[in-house]
Amino acid sequence: MSQYELIVPCHFGMESVLKNEIYDIGYEITEVTDGRVTFLGDEEAIARANICLRTGERVLLKVGSFHAETFEELFQGTLSLPWEDFLPSDARFWVTKAASVKSKLFSPSDIQSIMKKAMVERMKKVYKLERFPETGDSYPVRVFLMKDEVTAALDTTGESLHKRGYRKYKVTAPIAENLAAGLLALTPWRPGRILVDPFCGSGTFPIEAAMIAANIAPGVNRTFTAETWKHLVSPSLWKDSRDEALDLETPDIETDLQGYDIDPEAIAAARANAKLAGVDHLIHFQTRPVSKLSHPRKYGFIVTNPPYGERLTGSEEDSIKRLYKELGDAYRKLDTWSMYLITSFSGCEEALGVKAAKNRKIYNGMLKTYFYMFPGPKPPRKSGN
């Protein structure tokens, strides 16, 4: 099998979690940069990474990189890359996205247009064609420039990896599935321990926790762009990777996962989404205000994405503060519990009435948020027989 460089973008702040995931599925990391992890893998790795990674956004197959400070250098650099090693003679290709940071070339539309022209010229010359037909399968290209270094890669994923396929029913401001999975990995919560989300919305945190507990691969029930690239990744590799993932599932595991929300429509959406994910039997959803948050057992976890209240007016800010105060009051009564929450609300700790042990800056899309961590006491070790 061929050896490739595979690049997996992620939310800023999730790099260490993604790196551990890639190690866990058996591949060697070559580079970690802001919002991106690169590793070495063969054709099977393309399938396994798409199916198994919980915290990545997509799997990119690197074609090459070069330095460019002018559009002429961009054209010539793109022309020099071995596109024919990846694209057949009838490939339909385009530069779907160009991102530029600290580079002299910064216009996405110009970068896209020039690179497309160079790719066509290369392919026409290699395949000895007067006109490139582009009647075959799709090969979207993603390009990023960092300090004038251009990296070009094929997008093997298509729709972002956060789209597991289960969240058909949404509520206001849902957290992305891959970000929720990454945040869970930043906590000491593990399958078998209690987890409650008192602002569960459409159910993302409990559903991702249930999928982790049942070892359900996030991409096992969806398709990917590279599945049509039979000359690069054999259909048998996709089948084998899915079969491997299905064999590892443990759907009958016992859990204590709960999701509450004051909105009955949100709870209905969460239940429907959990059913689509195949984990509805593992989660208890209930319409309940945060002021009624309670649990009879000790050493549980609150993991939640409460309302942020972006661009608050005075009355709205007072409402958000009251909501956070109710959460803080409920949390203090659960004196052996831990709490982890993501928010952009700057008055979070003051409103909660609790000081976080630490916080971590996380970009939720383009929004700067913080993941506040309130770890509780560790449960006593179970004595052996």
Which residues, 6 or more positions from 24, have their beta carbon under 8 angstroms from its beta carbon? none
How do residues 317-362 score in pLDDT, each as one tens digit?
889 999 999 999 999 999 999 999 999 998 999 999 999 999 999 9
Checking if the pLDDT of 166 tops 90, the result is: yes
Checking if the pLDDT of 313 tops 70, the result is: no
Compute the CA torsion angle 36, 41, 45, 49 (nearest 10 deg): -10
What is the Cα 223 distance to its own chain's centre? 16
CA atoms of 359 and 13, how far apart (whole Å):
11
pLDDT band at 309 (very low <50, low <70, confident <90, very high): low
How do residues 104-115 score in pLDDT, each as one tens digit?
999 999 999 999
Give me the pLDDT at residue 366, please.
Answer: 83
Lowest mean pLDDT among 51-65, 124-138, 186-200, 243-257: 124-138
* CATH superfamily membership of 177-215+250-374: Vaccinia Virus protein VP39 (3.40.50.150)
So where are the chain's domains? 4-155, 177-215+250-374
Give me the pLDDT at residue 161, please.
Answer: 98
pTM of the model: 0.94
| Percent share of the chain, pLDDT over 70 | 97
Query: Using an 8 Å Cβ cutoff, are 140 and 151 in contact?
Result: no
Q: Which CATH class is domain 4-155?
A: alpha beta
pLDDT band at 312 (very low <50, low <70, confident <90, very high): very low
Backbone angles phi and psi of 132, in degrees to 5:
-85, 120
Checking if the pLDDT of 121 tops 90, the result is: yes
- Average pLDDT of the chain is 95
Question: Bridge partners of 113?
Answer: none
